[in-house]
Structure 1
Amino acid sequence: MKKLIFSTVVLLCLSIAFPSNAQVVATKSDSKLKYNPKDPIPTDPNVKTGKLANGLTYYIQNNPKPENKVELRLVINAGSILEDEDQLGLAHFMEHMCFNGTKNFKKNELVDYLQSIGVKFGAHLNAYTSFDQTVYILPIPSDDPEKLEQGFQIIEDWAHNALLTDEEIDNERGVVLEEYRLGKGADERMMQKYLPKMMYGSMYAKRLPIGTKENLETFKYESLKRFYNDWYRPDLMAVVAVGDIDVATLEAKIKSHFGHIKNPKNPRPRPSFDLPNHKETFIAIESDKEAPFSNVRLLFKDKVNSKPDVTYADYRKSMVENLFSQMINNRLDEIRNGENPPFVYGFTYYGGTYARTKNAFQSQAMTSPTGQLDALKTLLKENERVRKHGFFEGEFNRAKKDIVARMERAFKDKDKMESERIVGSYVNNFLEQNPIPGMEWRFAFINSQLPTITLDEVNALIKDYIKEDNRVVILTGPEKDDLEKVKEAEVLELLNTVKTMDLKPYEDKAVATSLMTKMPIKGSIKEYKTDETLGTTTLVLSNGAKVTYKKTEFKNDEVLFDAFSYGGTSLYTDEEYLATNNANRGLTEAGINGFDKIELGKMMSGKIANVRLSIGTYSEGLSGNTTPKDLETLFQLTHLHFTALNKDEKAFRSYADKQKAFLGNLMSSPQFYFQNAMSEFMYGKSPRYTGFPTAEDMDNADYNLAYEKYKERFADAGDFHFYFVGNVDEEKLVSLCETYLASLPGKGSNETYKVTDFRPLTGSHKKIIEKGEDPKSSVRMTYHGPTEYDEKEAHALSSLAEVLTIKLIEKLREEEGGVYGAGANARISNMPYDWYSFNISFPCGPENVDKLIAATLKEVDELIANGPTEKDLEKVKKAQILDYQEDLKTNRFWLRQLKNADYLKKDAHNILKFENAVNSLTVTDLHNAAKKYLTQGYITGIHNPEK
């Protein structure tokens, strides 16, 4: 099961997981595999596991993707649940301290060294703390023995060489308190109230990883050192190393760096914490005036403690559970896409709670502020409908098909999975004993067992899931004078009423088997053009459309797709734009070719292909992805989005209702309010400015006009350029282009976009927005304005922002202790007009706003006066090159670059020249950019709490 993870900010969310993070599949070829239910699930032969004499566990795997990189993890089987009363928040604080001085890397030396070899703090180097675990993340180059050695020295130092000086502990208090501040808000306030009911009688209700403000400010140094000495020890640790290097080298590194670490003479027992049962139904109805969203949550907690999957029978049962989740969520998705949807989204699953020892059957939904009871009723009814009538053969078979398709895709790409995606399964094996049998075993086992799973097995699950004890209902949402709060008695009445409802069985209507009801008249290819340097082929079709494709071997079962045509809403009048802006995204809710979204979903069972239509400001387009097997389906979907997009007022109103529910209370959030206010301040004078849409805006959205304008925008396929990147069969792709793309209408319009005279606010301005009760502020500083586009200057300015990010972290976080994070980003664009933007942002305490703005400007002034240091520029260049080298081996990078080169009218060959461009950057280039672009004034936006 997947567990809740608390990282830099306390985020509460749960997700559904397949066994060992994999999906399931069945094919006829392996259906006779021998199977003994009591046999143990094997360990993947591709991973070498071991345990040192001191008890430290290790996992090692050679994996060539990406090249010259190894992912290291130091896993501590200890988190906030183990804190003593004087240690609240110190498991997480300890995570911070490992970056603030160790035996071999004094204060700031660790981050400084890693940046010097291209490892970014935050983006690459990171860590997280949860209730039961702490995990350190370190990707390191594997092609340099010295860097590899230093990487292992770093994780060894984390394990037992943290210095924990009094001075550095006090310095870090400010940073952790800023992280604590970031987590404050409506969600946190409501969670503090409902968590004691959700996690009734357990330590999990008392040990949120972030801790308490009082303890973070006043804890004694000894309390932190005691936590480190008690719980950071080899028998509670694992080292995971997966990457492009031989196993023997990695094993030798682990043994040499960790074999000598000793356990304490009298180690504290590592307890496990239970989640007690309760006979009552606990109901928590919490509201907050700053809550932007309304949510419903329903839990039926197990009476017995969970156990890891260890046998074939366990693994097979998890497959049954996955089928159950897939089918009930398919039903909920049909409801949300139907008329008068009761929720924005809703889902149900069986899986982990915050407590390691307890699973629960859980349902969740986001709804409108007035729709909580209706949403809860829907969730309860669908659970009860399954209990009374079960699932049916048609939906059962579709669920199997979907699982087959996903697993086949994973299996085909088993040798091309990135190391970053592999390490997590080994972390979970150590912490929670999740099985790691490997893709080969899973594929063979599931091929054998999925066909043997019966509908009765799946239907039987819910009898154990639904119960009247160990039940918790949680409602959270906004608090407003005109909004009547749900009462506990209403919830109890609903729980009792649904049990006695006369619910009809789910009606599973038959659906068509083919997307196309009439095949198009085939077109032709007028011109072929190959580019051997880029490895691309461009076709000119008989209707004028262009197709560029690149065959790659980065993934065996992936094809990515994009397409654009100039124009977009820039060709609408102001009146048309304002009338249709909030309707455009709902155009595809009606389905295609007479099939609604529900029917389409059923028809697509077992297929992996999707197409997304969009109408942007300056272009219209399509994008999507598929597998080589389903490539024709992708082409059919593309053709139908041009020619047969349904028009259905009811479907659009369903979309609008969900949007209204989502947007209804958005402005009560101080953060959203600030974003909207700053957007209006900078862009509000545009005749097309709309800001965040409101419920009234959705009611006024003109769907009929939006549909007519869509037909205009997609009437001429001849001025579209289509892109395909991945493992394509070139002969098949060309044939499909002739059938489904060349057959589209081509009118030779060759439209371009229009640019209005409006430009955003520039110069020096200051806007202070006061909203919210929490003592938290945020700052945005924007330098932007017109310029003349120059590619090298654009690269220099974006690199300057990366340098400034490094300096702001050093100054505002490490020296001042005034922020948790700070950063800058920049770009110079040539579309729709030449324009530069340079943005700086950071959150902080209201009392520190002026001081930190002054410190930021001092760093900016230093760049203007002297430019960056050679050392800082080298850090940025190293990181850019490492990212680029990794990106070059991905389909998404190539798709984006090829499309953008044409869209922005640049030379696509520059894709291959980027490393040279990085190496040619000089301090002078960045210095000149600073002098040119950071001296023209800036707009300051400050968000403060209400006085």
Structure 2
Amino acid sequence: MKIYKINIALLIAGNCLPFFAGAQHKPAKSTVAVHHTVQPGTKLIPLDPSVRTGKLANGFTYYIRHNNEPEHRVVMYLANKVGSILETDEEQGLSHFLEHMSFNGTEHFPKSELINYLQKAGVRFGADLNAYTSFDETVYQLPLPTDDPAVMKNGLQIMRDWAQGLTLETAEIEKERGVIMEEERLGRGAADRILRQTLPVMVNHSRYASRLPIGKADVILHFKPEVIRNYYHKWYRPDLQALIIVGDIDVAKMEQLVRQKFADLKSPPNEKPRLKYSSSLTGKNQFLAITDKELTNTVIEVNCKHKEQKIYTETDYRASLLKSLFNGMLSRRYMELSRQANPPFLEGGAAIRDVMPGLEAFKLYVSCRPGEVESGFKAVWRETARLQRLGFSKTELERSKREYLNEMEAMMQEKDKMTSDTYVNAYLNHFLNGGATPGLSKQNEMINRFIPTITLAEVNALAKEYIRETNRDIIVTAPEKDKATLPAESAVLAWIRDVNAEKMDAFKDDVSTLPLLAHMPVPGKIVKEEKDAKTGLTFLTLSNGVNVILKKTNFKNDEIVFQAFTNGGTSLYSDADYESASNAANIISSAGVGNYNASQLEKYLSGKQMSVFPFIDERTQGFMGNTNTKDMDSAFSLLYAYATEPRKDEQIFKGIISNAKAALVNKDDDPESVFSDTMTTVLGNYNIRRTPANLEKIAQINLDRAYSIYKERFANVTGMKFVLVGNIDEAKLKPYLEKYIASLPANGTIEAAKNLDIHVPEGLISKTVYAGKEDKAMVYLVFSGKFDYDYASTLKMQALKETLEIRLLERLREEESGVYSPAAEVSTRKLPDGRYGISIYFGCSPANVERMIASAVDEVEKLRKVGPAPENIEKFKAEDLHTMQTIMKTNNFWLDYLTGQLSNGEPLDQISNYNKLIKGMTAKEVKDIADKYLTGKNYIRLVLLPESVKAK
């Protein structure tokens, strides 16, 4: 799928490392320089020495690095400093249009042959092969297998063709106009309408305000082909381009090939200067209030803007660490606010973030509860005023420092396991945006040198520096129905003055020094141990009846992921108890555990590289989590605490319920929410356990009942399956299993889940929803029924889905230009009874709904009557085998696989037949399974159309 990006979202988050540029493997020469003004006495941060960089005589830049994760794979990115900001009024949308055309014909891969070739090589279009266009850049990505020299050679040729070898045939241009307009249609809605009004304020009415990457419809539909050809030759030139290659490659050989392949790129005569645009400060304040019929809540943003601070020197980097610590501590304060019995907002927070090129800002954000705009805004602003006046506490800073150092330590532990994408993104940012990209080792050295030196006074000074009354924007967006009560600028400013004048106490950092557990466990024993040489699994039986399955891997140096489950779940409770049961795990775990309330627990766990979450789903209950070696005691003691020492917190419960109710008030004003709720209801056969939330269902949630159900579900672990995957040291792990897992309560009874007989309804069903003001439609088609479950059949169903998706893309998008991104999904299950579902979904013009549905159903019929084209089966095989080759080397894959097999009672070595079954699969087998299941007897058609269509 081809996309365009706009990085202007408000991000309220905790600590994050200012940049990452990867691990080291061996020194390599570095010849790409960053030019900027450096203050005397400051030290430049060098480029990551592990990347081979260079610039050809024609100005073309390259970054090449060897990396083994994943093995036998390479990632190539072609970066162009060409985006919508360069377009004239007559060219608006052509940067993005060019991105599309790069997949529709090049000198060596005419028309659609590029996608066709890569699919045969195992590269998925959209998932792997992709691109994006933004204001300042257009970037193409191509992941490839490295074990086929021909594919590698052609991969470089594709990058060269993208750089200066697009054919831009008139017929292909004409076909792509409709596809791009369908992409534009998908983006329409309240969020897009609000963006177009707020963007000029956010970027201080700079050029960015009028250069959204999607462009303008009049240009997209009517530009002459020669215009885009001229634009391509004008801007796609070597001095604005870089090739980034990271993967399982020989760097020296790759560098030689790159220099040979790209040396002949030419710049156009009379080269047009590539101007650098940015949004600058004006010294003025701005206010904007907007309403929209489809907005569901009132949001107020306050942006105190500042000049962007890039990272070039060690002094710059230390300053970025200050901001990261500041953001993390402030984020946790807002989290505590949200735990009140009557939370003052639906969402709220603040942080120092980049806005657009040239600008950063202290960004405050509050999503208000209906009718509580003033109190919600004041609650969020109050924390900024408290921070300005009283600052952070010493314990907050020390905890945040510890968290930062531990995060860095964990990254260093895995430095030789970093994926190639991580490095590519670092070098991409270096080329496009400048600034430092030092590599992980240098970053680790600076963090460990600078973090201990950061003082509380320095961090507190940021609040006074960044929260200012000049260069400040206030933006209010609200549902149209609330227009009459929308606050004016004078009202918001008065709220700020009121809060600033309040008497305030310092923030109380609620930290406990008690042990986590109120009662220490009585350890059990490992009573049986078996090893299976075929699967490499170790099977342990604990004295309380828990069955432990260990899979040792080396995919990560210090990671263990785990899941534990027993049967039962919400299926054992009546419809009257369902809401309490289904929400019990979330409600009870939100209250803290053992001796710690929620806030104390969050601080206790700060900096630990582990997590544990209890769950109760329809057929099982249990725990999911992960840990490193150092934090195993914390992880397993937390699991034990969740099972044996849960807590109730009336205040937090009231807050959860209060916000759940508030979120429903205007929910039906969002057309996509209405459509989603309709789909859920219809596909759930109107069963009360499948219908969406409403006030009546929320009122059924009872804290005492949720608590008792939670305790019942974890009161007996007899027969529990506990799967752990990762770099396991059994000698270190076993004492924790005996202390915290073998000690869990068990009564010897093994429960079974009930079959509730809830499934997609049978027969022919059609439902149309009329909602929304935009001229766009959404279509969802579902084929379902009973399924004869076995492993081979599930793989054939996956092949059916993939080959169907290939044809939907070829026909609905490429041949008919009627949709942007048609997709298909398949699901199969064994328990409680065999069922399958195949769905097709896409967006399109309301005028084209019937034609697109007819084409989609026709492709389904062709699969059933004729079967898939043999070449599409081969594409599926190549894609699936390559994908599986990579994901099988991840811990989470094996955790999901093993727990899935155990849940279904299937053999744990079943996957050993995967390659044989995939390679041996034929088009006839897929046709037969399509003929068996795609009969059309159980067919559901769900369509979202705008309100205006119903009116006609």
> TM exceeds 0.5?
yes
What is residue 574 of structure 1 aligned with on the other side?
A: 575
SS in 2 for 1:645: coil
**What is aligned with 2:669?**
668
User: Matched residue of 1:106: which SS?
Assistant: coil
Aligned partner of 1:18 in structure 2 is 17
Give, in angstroms, the shift of residue 896 of structure 1: 0.7
Question: Alpha carbons of 1:258 and 1:23: their partners in 2 closer, same or farther (altered >3 Å)?
Answer: closer
- Give, as a single letter, the amino acid of the residue that structure 1 aligns with 2:339: N
TM-superposed deviation, 1:860: 1.4
Residue by residue, what CA displacement relative to the aligned partner does 1:254-282 show, whole Å, maximum 9, x if unpaired? 21221110112222111122323234322
| Cα contact 1:552–1:891 (8 A) shared by 2 | yes
Instruction: Show CA shifts across 1:311-361 (max 9, x none).
Output: 11111111111111111111111111233222333332223112x111112
**CA deviation after TM superposition for structure 1 residue 297, in Å:** 2.0
Q: How many angstroms apart in 2 are the aligned matches of 1:241 and 1:339?
A: 52
Does 1:347 find its partner at 2:354?
A: no
CA distance, structure 1, for counterparts of residue 808 and residue 4 of structure 2: 18
SS at match of 2:295: coil
15-24 vs 258-267, which moves further: 15-24
| CA shift in 2, pair 1:440/1:724, >3 Å | same
SS at match of 1:760: coil
Cα-to-partner distance string for 1:596-631 (whole Å, 9 max, x where unaligned): 111111111221221111111111121011211101
Q: Structure 1 254/695 Cα, relative in aligned 2: closer, same or farther at 3 Å?
A: farther
Instruction: Tell me which amino acid in the other structure corresponds to 1:530.
Output: K
Query: Which range moved further: 886-895 or 36-45?
Result: 36-45
| 2:824 partner amino acid | A
Structure 2 length as normaliser, TM-score?
0.95
Deviation at 1:568, TM superposition (A): 0.4
1:307 Cα deviation after fit: 4.5
1:171 alignment partner in structure 2: 175
Once residues 676 and 63 of structure 1 are traced to their aligned partners in structure 2, the CA distance between those partners, rounded to angstroms, is 45
Q: How does 1:107-118 map to 2 (within 5 A)?
A: 107-118=111-122
Corresponding residue SS for 2:19: helix
Deviation of the 1:763 alpha carbon: 1.9
Q: What per-residue deviation string (whole Å, max 9, x for no partner) do you get for residues 813-850 of structure 1?
A: 00111111011122331112111111111111101111
> Quick one: distance in 2 between partners of 1:75 and 1:245?
20
On the 8 A contact 1:127/1:137 being kept in 2, the answer is yes
In 1, the alpha carbon distance for the partners of 2:524 and 2:583 equals 36
Q: CA deviation at 1:93?
A: 1.2
Alpha carbons 1:321, 1:350 under 8 Å: kept = yes
CA contact (8 A) 1:346 1:365 kept: yes
| Distance in 2 of aligned mates of 1:62 and 1:546 | 42
Q: Distance in 2 between matches of 1:406 and 1:273?
A: 36
Tell me which residue corresponds to 1:634.
635
Which residue does the alignment assign to 1:851?
851
User: Could you say what secondary structure the match of 2:265 adopts?
Assistant: coil
Match of 1:185 in 2: 189
Shift of 1:460: 1.5
- 1:753-832 paired onto structure 2 within 5 Å: 753-832=753-832
Change over 3 Å in CA distance of 1:382–1:23 after alignment to 2: farther
Q: TM-score, normalised by structure 1?
A: 0.95
State the Cα deviation string for residues 202-258 of structure 1 (Å, max 9, x = none). 011111111122222222323322321222111111110000011012212221221
SS at match of 1:783: strand
Return the offset for 1:584. Answer: 4.8
Equivalent residue for 1:220, pick from 224, 243, 252:
224
Q: Are the counterparts in 1 of residues 81 and 138 from structure 2 also a CA contact under 8 Å? A: yes
Matched to 1:853, the amino acid is I
- Residues 37 and 410 (structure 1 numbering): CA distance in 2 closer, same or farther, change over 3 Å? farther
Q: What secondary structure is seen at the aligned counterpart in 2 of 1:824?
A: strand
Contact 1:609–1:627 (Cα < 8 Å) also in 2? yes
Letter of the structure 1 residue corresponding to residue 347 of structure 2: Y
In the alignment, structure 1 residue 7 sits paired with structure 2 residue 3:
yes
Aligned equivalents of 1:544, 1:558: Cα separation in 2? 26
Provide the C-alpha distance between the structure 1 equivalents of 2:876 and 2:910, rounded to a whole number of angstroms: 20
Asked if 1 retains the 8 angstrom alpha-carbon contact of 2:780 and 2:840, the reply is yes
CA distance in 2, matches of 1:11, 1:360: 14
Match of 1:715 in 2: 715
One-letter amino acid of the structure 2 residue matched with residue 162 of structure 1:
L
Tell me what 2:275 maps to. Answer: 271
Q: Larger deviation: 324-333 or 209-218?
A: 209-218
Post-superposition Cα deviations, 1:909-931, rounded to whole Å, max 9, x if no partner, equal 01232111211211111010111
Return the letter of the residue paired with 1:217: L
Structure 2 CA distance for partners of 1:434 and 1:702, relative to 1, 3 Å: same
Residues 217-296 of structure 1 aligned to structure 2 (within 5 Å):
217-296=221-300
User: Compared with structure 1, are the counterparts of its residues 345 and 926 closer, same or farther at alpha carbon in structure 2 (3 Å cutoff)?
Assistant: same
- Which residue is equivalent to 1:31? none
Q: 1:60 aligned to 57, 64, 72, which one?
A: 64
Q: Partner amino acid for 1:644?
A: E
Aligned AA (2:559): E
Partners of 1:270 and 1:369 in 2: how far apart?
48
Which residue of structure 1 aligns with residue 658 of structure 2? 657
Give the aligned CA root-mean-square deviation in angstroms. 2.0
Partner Cα separation in structure 2 for residue 317 and residue 145 of structure 1: 46
| TM-fit CA distance, 1:23 | 11
Q: Give, in angstroms, the shift of residue 54 of structure 1.
A: 1.0
The answer for the alignment partner of 1:28 in structure 2 is: none
Are the equivalent residues in 1 in contact too, given 2:579–2:698 (CA < 8 A)? no
1:9 and 1:180 in contact (8 A); partners too? no
In structure 2, what is the Cα distance between the partners aligned to 1:509 and 1:827?
Answer: 46
Change (3 A) 1:10 1:843: farther
Return closer, same or farther for 1:19/1:716 CA change in 2, 3 Å cut-off: same
C-alpha contact 2:22 2:439 (8 A) present in aligned 1: no
Q: Is the 2:5–2:134 contact (alpha carbons within 8 Å) kept by the matching residues of 1?
A: no
CA–CA separation in structure 2 for the residues paired with 1:482 and 1:364: 20
Aligned counterparts of 1:699 and 1:512: Cα–Cα separation in 2: 37
- Looking at structure 2, the residues matched to 884 and 448 of structure 1 have their Cα atoms a distance apart, in angstroms, of 42
Aligned twin of 2:27: none
For 1:891 and 1:14, the matched residues in 2 are separated by: 32
| Deviation per residue, 1:420-446 (Å, 9 max, x gap) | 122101000011113111111111222
Amino acid at match of 1:135: V
Cα distance, 1:392–1:887 mapped onto 2, change above 3 Å: same
Q: CA deviation at 1:401?
A: 0.8
**5 Å matches for 1:568-647?**
568-578=569-579, 580-582=581-583, 584-647=585-648
Runs (5+) with no aligned partner, structure 1: 25-35
Check whether the contact 2:351–2:362 (CA below 8 A) recurs between aligned residues.
Answer: yes
Distance 1:360 1:229 in 2: 37
* Inter-CA distance 482–423: structure 2 relative to 1 (3 Å threshold): closer
Kindly provide the amino acid, as one letter, of the partner of residue 395 in structure 1.
Answer: E
CA positional deviation for 1:696: 4.8
State whether residues 8 and 179 of structure 1, in contact with CA within 8 Å, keep that contact through their aligned partners in structure 2: no
Moved more, 756-765 or 140-149: 756-765
Secondary structure of residue in 2 paired with 1:115: helix
Corresponding residue for 1:494?
A: 495
The Cα shift of 1:684 comes to 4.0
Aligned residue in 2 for 1:326: 328
Structure 2 vs 1, CA of residues 83 and 813 (structure 1 numbering), >3 Å: closer, same or farther?
A: same
Deviation at 1:571, TM superposition (A): 0.4
C-alpha deviation, 1:637, in angstroms: 0.7
Relative to structure 1, the CA distance from residue 483 to residue 569 in structure 2 (aligned partners, 3 Å threshold; closer, same or farther) is farther
User: 8 Å contact 2:515–2:595 — kept in the other structure?
Assistant: no
3-state SS of paired residue (1:21): coil
Secondary structure of 1:205's aligned partner: helix
Q: 1:795 to 1:550 in 2, by over 3 A?
A: same
1:111-166 C-alpha deviation (Å, 9 max, x unpaired): 00000011000000001111111111110111211100111111111111111122
CA distance in 2, matches of 1:682, 1:633: 42
Contact 1:78 1:236 in 2 (8 A): yes
